[in-house]
Amino acid sequence: MPAIDRIRKVTAIVIAHAEYGEADRFVRIFTLENGKLNTLAKGVRKIQSRKAAHLEPFTHSALVLARGQSFWIITQAETLNAFTGIHDDLKKTTDAAYVLELVDKIAGENHPEPGLYRLLLDTLKRIEAASDTFNALRYFEFRFLDTAGFRPELTNCVACKKPIQPEDQYFSVLQGGILCPQCGQMEARSIFAAKDTLRYLRHFQRSAYPEVETINVPENTRMEMQKIMNVYIAAVMEGQLKTPGFQRQIEGVRGRRKYNDIK
């Protein structure tokens, strides 16, 4: 086997890891060059190991991989960005875990997806830098849905195909988009979507990140937007995701703390 096929140099974002044997660790990574890879880091759990810190979830690292019998073996690792601002904040940690969970579900093994890789890396940077991560997460969700092929229809009613008017609407998870008031009342599982909620959803869907980065979405609208996006994404991913529930718990705790501080 030529050396070029046995050794790979990659830039990667660590998705997750799991212990293996007495001192090794399986590490799932998303690379710019080769998409998602399941790798093995030998001896990484030993006290003297220098690779462990470079292989934590969310870490952006430069890696050298050697082809083993069943897995790529991580032989060298160097941190490019540790995202300590994420690791040091529980809310940001759960937000980043949510983003990684979605990417992990659609990224292909040994299939380069540079657009998705750049979206993930940019989103982690935005989560770390933001005092409020809401806009970064909603922007990511829309770009993620575009990549996954599940772009929601927000301009015309998905049932009758008529253009949506500036009034309260409904969202159909089953049909993947907005229902006009008449069609929405005919679908039992549709989700109410206020006029302002739809306006913000459209803005996030069609805009570049600088156009949505600093906008202030009202709290009630935030809750509706997050509900619609969470339910829709869980549906298209064919199962309940693990992290959104934990995100809501963290947000609930923060909300109660703010309320107590005001009293």
Record the tokens describing residue 13, joined without a space.
Answer: 């974002």
Report the pLDDT averaged over residues 121-125: 98
Comparing CA positions, the residue from 52, 147, 140 lying closest to residue 100 is: 140
> How many Cβ atoms from other residues are within 10 Å of residue 187's Cβ?
17
Contact criterion met (CB below 8 Å) for 57 and 65: no
Query: What number of H helices and E strands is found in the chain?
Result: 10, 8
Per-residue model confidence as pLDDT tens digits over 199-244: 999 999 999 999 999 999 999 999 999 999 999 999 999 876 777 7
Comparing CA positions, the residue from 188, 168, 189 lying closest to residue 180 is: 168
> How many Cβ atoms from other residues are within 10 Å of residue 58's Cβ?
23
Comparing CA positions, the residue from 156, 142, 12, 155 lying closest to residue 76 is: 12
Record the tokens describing residue 31, joined without a space.
Answer: 């690379």
In the CATH hierarchy, which fold is given to the domain comprising 1-131? OB fold (Dihydrolipoamide Acetyltransferase, E2P) (2.40.50)
CATH superfamily of 133-249: Recombination protein O, C-terminal domain (1.20.1440.120)
The bridge status of strand 169-172 relative to strand 191-193 is: antiparallel
Per-residue model confidence as pLDDT tens digits over 18-52: 988 888 999 999 999 999 999 999 988 887 678 88
- Kindly list the domain boundaries of the chain, sorted by start residue: 1-131, 133-249
Q: Is 254 helix (H, G, I), strand (E, B) or coil?
A: helix
Q: Is the pLDDT of residue 254 over 60?
A: no
Lowest mean pLDDT among 97-101, 193-197, 202-206, 250-254: 250-254
pTM of the model: 0.89
d(CA 235, CA 228): 11
